[in-house]
Amino acid sequence: MKPTRPFDPTPVITIDGPTASGKGTVAAPVAATLGFHLLDSGALYRLAALASFRYNVDKDDAQALATLIDSLHITFREGCTQLDGLDVSTEIRAEEVGNRASAIAVHPDVRHALIVRQRAFRKRPGLVADGRDMGTVIFPDATLKVFLTASVEVRAARRHKQLMQKGFSANMDNLLRDLRERDARDTSRAAASLKPAADAKTLDTSGLSVDQAVEQIIFWFSEVRV
Ligand code: DC
């Protein structure tokens, strides 16, 4: 029998969805508006991916990756993400790192190694957690579960803009191809595949501004909180 976790009354809003659906862009202002903590779970997968490059661990060696993850010293502080004492905030946003993150995320051992670190973010007064499996696996008892979608073209254009702003070079055709590949891998993997939780509310952000998406989520939260 699976051990049950004790009931935690700390509210959690989960925001899941495919790459570049706007999760991070929307999660940050939702957390700021409510004064909640923020978990960017993709950043943890990206940190693990970057570490695998740094320490030469094969992307298919699940056990070695899990051991590596257990040994990593990770800190998130005021917009700065550190890996073993070095600021890697920009480096983890590179497409190469995102693609490696998606590749190592298929291993159940890797996902398992990251569970405790993710759940540790649940602290008062509340948490907004964004990722792929926040509502299905990590916080199945979340107060509100949102699944963001947007067309692949809109997502590629957003990713292009983000990368240019961060000083990376980017090509739309390559981005579209990478997004489609990453969607297919994230959706079809056996472990915690990308899908909405049965009790999630779906929000298509293709035609929405960030403010509109944030407002909708805050409204849904106000409805379930009373
Ligand atoms: O959200 P992102 O692009 O930063 O995530 C990078 C990759 O990490 C993504 O392609 C799949 C993986 N990931 C995951 O499997 N589960 C999560 N909760 C978050 C990210």
12-216 fold: Rossmann fold (3.40.50)
pLDDT in tens, 9-49: 999 999 999 988 989 999 999 999 999 999 999 999 999 99
3-state class of 74 per DSSP? strand
Residue 81 Cβ contacting ligand 1 at under 6 Å: no
Question: And the tokens for 63?
Answer: 């056990």
* 24 alpha carbon – ligand 1 mean position (Å): 11
Q: Which of 96, 112, 117, 132 to mutate to test the pocket of ligand 1 (most atoms within 8 A of CB)?
A: 132
Of 93-97, 145-149, 188-192, the poorest mean pLDDT is in 188-192
Inter-helix orientation angle 210-225/23-34, to 10°: 50
DSSP letter for 136, please: I
Q: Residue with the nearest Cα to atom 4 of ligand 1?
A: 42
Give the Cβ contact number of residue 74 at 10 Å. Answer: 16
Ligand 1: nearest atom to the Cα of 133 = 18
CA distance 53 to 19: 21
Hey, whose CA ends up nearest to atom 10 of ligand 1? 102
Look up residue 160 and give its amino acid.
H
pLDDT tens digits, residue range 163-206? Answer: 888 888 889 999 999 999 988 888 887 777 788 999 999 999 99
pTM: 0.90
pLDDT at 1 over 60: no
**For the segment 149-158, what is each residue's pLDDT rounded down to a tens digit?**
999 999 999 9
What are the residue ranges spanned by the domains of the chain? 12-216
pLDDT in tens, 112-142: 999 999 999 999 999 999 999 999 999 999 9
Strands (E), 135-212: 144-149, 201-204
Tell me what pLDDT residue 105 has: 94
Nearest residue to 213 (alpha-carbon basis) of 124, 153, 147: 147
Please compute the mean of the pLDDT values over residues 72-85 and round it to a whole number.
92
* Residue located via tokens 């959706």: 187
Euclidean distance between CA atoms 96 and 80, whole angstroms:
20
At residue 226, the pLDDT reads 64
Any idea which residue has 């008892």 for tokens? 141
At 2, the pLDDT band (50, 70, 90 cuts) reads low
118 Cβ closer than 6 Å to some ligand 1 atom? no
Residue with CA at minimum distance from ligand 1 atom 2: 42
Give the start-end residues of each E strand in 139-216. Answer: 144-149, 201-204
The label of the residue with tokens 């700390």 reads: 10
186 lines ligand 1 (CB under 6 A): yes
Nearest CA to ligand 1 atom 9: 102
Please tell me if the CB atom of residue 189 comes closer than 6 angstroms to any atom of ligand 1: no
Task: Say if residues 80 and 87 touch (Cβ distance below 8 Å).
Answer: yes
Provide the pLDDT for residue 173. 93
Which ligand 1 atom sits closest to the C-alpha of 185? 10
Alpha helices, H only, 105-147: 108-119
Question: Atom 1 of ligand 1 has which residue's CA nearest to it?
Answer: 42
Confidence at 3, pLDDT banded by 50, 70, 90 = low
Over residues 47-69, the pLDDT tens digits come to 999 999 999 999 999 999 999 99
Are residues 151 and 158 in contact, defined by beta-carbon separation less than 8 angstroms?
Answer: no
Query: Rounded CA gap, 76 and 81, in Å?
Result: 5
- Give distance in angstroms: CA of 224 to centre of ligand 1: 27
Both tokens assigned to 4: 């049950």
Question: 200 pairs with which residues across the strands?
Answer: none
